[in-house]
Structure formats: structure tokens, C-alpha cells
Chain A
Amino acid sequence: MEAKTGDPLIRLGLLEEALNLARANSLWPLTFGLACCAIEMMAAGMARFDLDRFGAGVFRPSPRQADLMLVAGTISKKMAPAVVRLYEQMPAPKWVIAIGNCAISGGPFNYANQYAIVPGADLIIPVDVYIPGCPPRPEAIIEAILMLEEKITKRGRLRKFRDVKG
């Protein structure tokens, strides 16, 4: 195992793996819909697509109680300070999923004379998973949650105990 910056100082071995498994399977998202992608995020939490079966269905309005920020929509320059503030208010460990083309790179609103938006959430906060689409289907949002779970637990799905790089 190589040491990376940002690793915890104390390694707890199996306990840490158990904690990661618990964190991955009970992500509490922050309700942070900015624009159109918010509706697909809501649909992903509803009866047909049901994020709750992955443990991620408890949307919290307050950042203090959330550990996953789903940036769904375009970040305007007026809203950017609020996004950063909300990210800083979330307690660690925390993750960010950028939903939709606007949160990845500005999306359809990114053109030469654009004055109003921040072209991409990763310019202001660190992003873990990117979901392309305009808007992405709820199935894509579920796929992103599963990818994030892999990233947190560093293991493949279905408990095959393969090591997942990155």
C-alpha cells in the first residue's frame, strides 16, 4: 500500500474497512438542486428508481447532517459563494457528485461571451464523481452512487473483494 496525501494518520485496519462500508451504504445526500437536473435527482429518489435501496435516500436539507453533496445544475457566479460555504459546512468525510453537464463544465451555457456562470463545479469544490448528461437519466445517478460506493470502499460491487484502483 502506498501512502497518499490526505490519508488518515491512524490506520485502523479492518475497522476502517467496516467504517467505509457503513459510510458507503448510508450516504446522506444534501438537497441541493440548482436547475433542471434537480428534477431528475428527485425522480431518482422516488418510487421507480428508488435511491433508498442503496441507503442514499435520506435527503437532508441541512449541510451539517449530510455527507454527500449532489451538485445538480448550473452554478451561477452569484451562487458560487453559497456553494463553497455549504461545502465547508459539511462535516468530513464528505463527497461531491457533479450531476449534469453544467456541473461538469458549464454544459450548454459555456460559450465565449458567457458572463454569468462558473463553468464547472470542480473549479470551486473538489468533485468525486461526474455524471454527464443534460439531464442525465435517474439510472445514471444511481450508477454514480454505486461508483462512489466503490471509491469509498475501494472494493468492487457484489463483495467480490477485488481491489479497485483510484
Chain B
Amino acid sequence: MIELGIEEKTYTLNLGPQHPSTHGVLRVVLEMDGEYITKAEPVIGYGHRGHEHMAENRNYQQFLPNMGRVDYLHALAYNQGYCMAVEKLLGLTVPERGEFIRVILSELNRISSHLVWIGAYLLDLGAFTPILYAFDDRENLLDLLDRITGSRLTYCFYRFGGVPRDLDEEFITGTRAFIKRLRSRFRDYESLVTKNVIFINRTRGVGLITRDQAVRYGLTGPTLRGSGIAYDIRKSEPYSAYPAFDFQIPIGDKGDVFDRYLVRILEMEQSLRIIEQALNQLPNGPIMADKVPKRLKPAAGEVYQAVESARGEFGCYIVSQGDLKPYRIKLRVPSFGNLSILPEVAVDTLVADLVAILGSVDVVIPEIDR
């Protein structure tokens, strides 16, 4: 839809909700002055499915499958956040082997989410080859996750108190082989993408986010770490088995789109390190806490549990009044805050730059819309 503004020489251009580059059903209403954007307003809600309302109509176990659908690309982090929040209310402790398994699977899921992001982002920028490489690596990874969890995408694998199925020898050897293979593929990504002069020209100096903006908008995740702030829940508020592992948090220095891309590539390598250490240190023992009640009636009160998902900090806020059903669940999703910075960052950019910036924020619309 194009209308001519009467007072100014701007016109309105509508991007989405069906658009190949908006990563889901996002609509951005643009006011353009020629080729430059003067105002960009995201319109969300096209994927609103009522998760928080469902939470009040389901008991705690019945709500567990929803967590895989909120952010389907890193579903295991959402599983983990929700399970940990409910375990806090119930006073359950997950055994050590269960925690290690949770970390291994969640880190594999993080890698698969970043691979999807790289593929889709470069497809937006016009490059068709990297998505084929990325999805090929992802298929190898999904074979491993499929063996244990039974799903490829919307996992519902963690239970309150641990995990229901143990790892087997074939998974462990398969994962070690995958780690070796992905490490050798990083060289391909580097020469295909990171050192590609067209990619650098499109992403260097574009979409700068300052620290002050990051604080005022509550950014988290690689979007934040590209601006040089080393905030990662796995390090600043360690949970599960993460304190046992030695890994780094990659950060950027300029805060532009290229830095956010590089942070995600380096994060995949750090995830591989975590998985390697976890496999080497995997303890024996039970995988589920004993004496998990069949009818879950957590104590009355509220709890907030944050975990680090591929997009940033996922926070699960549960208000319980001692019933079988939660009284209120609020899902604090990272893409909500990360996308809200778009109107400020997109001013005075070209539409092509807007696509680059929007992709670098890595939003998943169903998680924003819940």
C-alpha cells in the first residue's frame, strides 16, 4: 500500500506480515522519504496464540508442551526455564546426571538455533549457499537429538525433576563425531561468509546499538553482547550444571550488525566446548529425582527463573496459589525487548539495511506474540 503524505514528501510502505525476510509474521509499517526510512513501526500480534491464557487453563504438566512452541528454535531452553521454575516451587532437586544431560541437549539445541539463524539471515541478504551448508549441519545435529528426545523441532523432553530418557553410547559417539565435523565446517563458514567482502560491506557500521540504548530497552543475548556487554545468564547467574564448565562469552566491540553475527558464530564454538566437557565429565547416577508427586501442587508463592536461550534471557515468572493449575505465568521472552529497539535503530537507514538490522536482532515472532 503506498499513500502520498500530504504535508511532507514521505509515503507509507508496508512490510509484511507475509514477507520472506521478516522471520515469521511481523509487519513493519515504514514511512519513507525516497529510499530512506524516517519511521519504522513494528506491528505484532499476528502469531498470538494465547499461551499465557492457556497456562491458567492447564495444570503444570499439561502446560509443558506449550514451552516447545513458544520459541521452537531453542525449545529446550524454554523447557529448562519452566521446569526449573516449577522445581523451585516444589522444592525438587535434579540429580547431577540429569543436569548434565539437560545441558548437553540444550547446548546442541542452541547450535541448531544459531545454524538456522545463519542460514535464514544470509538468505535475507541474498546469499543462497550458506543456508544449504547450515541446514546440512543442522540435519546431522537433529539426527542426534531425534534419537534421544523423539522430536526434531518442538521438543518437550525435560520433566519436573530431571529427564525421562538416558543417553546411550551411540549418542555419545555420534556427538563427538559431530563436534569434530562442525569444527571443520567453521572454516567453510569463515571463507564463505565472514571474509566475504559483500557481506562485510552490508553489515559493517550498520545498525549501531549503544550501551545506553541497551539498558533503556532491556536487551539481552547476542544482540546485547555485540555491543560489548558481557551479560550471559550462564555466567552471571549460573544454573544447572554450567558452573562445572569452562567457557567464554564472546562479545563484540562496535555494536553493529557484523559484531552480532560474529558473536553467534563464536558462541557455537563455545557451545561445542561445553558439550565436550560435559561428555567427558558425565557422572553416573539417576536421571530423575525420586519422589516426584503425580499431582503437582506447588506451594503458594511466586518465582522467577531466568535461563539463557539462543536469543537472550528467557524468564519464567510463575504465581502459584497452591492449586493444580498455575494462577499466572508470564513468559519474559528476549525477542520482545530486542525488537522494541527497531524503531530507534532503523531511522535514516535504507530498506536493505533495515532487513540486515532486523535479521541481526534474531527475532522469533511466535515468542514475541506468545
Contacts and interface: CB of A to CB of B under 8 A. Distances in A.
Report A-B touching, CB under 8 Å. yes
Given A35-B69, A36-B366, A38-B24, A109 B50 contact: yes
B215 to A, nearest CB: 32
A161 interface: no
A31 interface: yes
A34 B132 contact: no
A48 B153 contact: no
A47 B69 contact: no
Contact of B53 (A39, A73, A115, A137): A115
Interface stretch (B40-48, B94-102, B266-274, B332-340): B40-48
16 contacts: A35-B47, A36-B366, A39-B153, A42-B135, A46-B132, A46-B136, A48-B139, A61-B20, A76-B25, A76-B48, A82-B18, A109-B49, A109-B50, A112-B57, A114-B50, A116-B49
Interface in A10-53: 31-36, 38-40, 42-43, 46-48
Contact of A109 (B18, B54, B136): B54
B69 A36 contact: yes
Given A46-B131, A109-B54, A34 B47 contact: yes
Nearest to A85: B18
A46 B138 CA distance: 11
Contacts of B131: 46
Interface string A73-101: 11010110010001000000000000000
Contacts of A114: 50
A15 to B, nearest CB: 34
A39 B25 contact: no
Interface residues of B, number: 34
A74 B152 CA distance: 18
A78 B366 CA distance: 13
A17 B269 CA distance: 54
A102 B65 CA distance: 14
Given A35-B47, A109-B49, A117-B50, A40 B153 contact: yes
Contacts of A135: 72, 152-154
A86 B24 contact: no
A131 B268 CA distance: 33
A5 interface: no
B133 to A, nearest CB: 8
A134 interface: yes
B73 interface: yes
B49 A32 contact: no
A31 B20 contact: yes
A48 B53 CA distance: 38
Given A76-B45, A79-B47, A82-B17, A33 B24 contact: yes
B180 to A, nearest CB: 20
A78 B135 contact: no
B73 to A, nearest CB: 7
Interface in B222-266: none
Interface in B347-370: 365-366, 369
B28 to A, nearest CB: 14
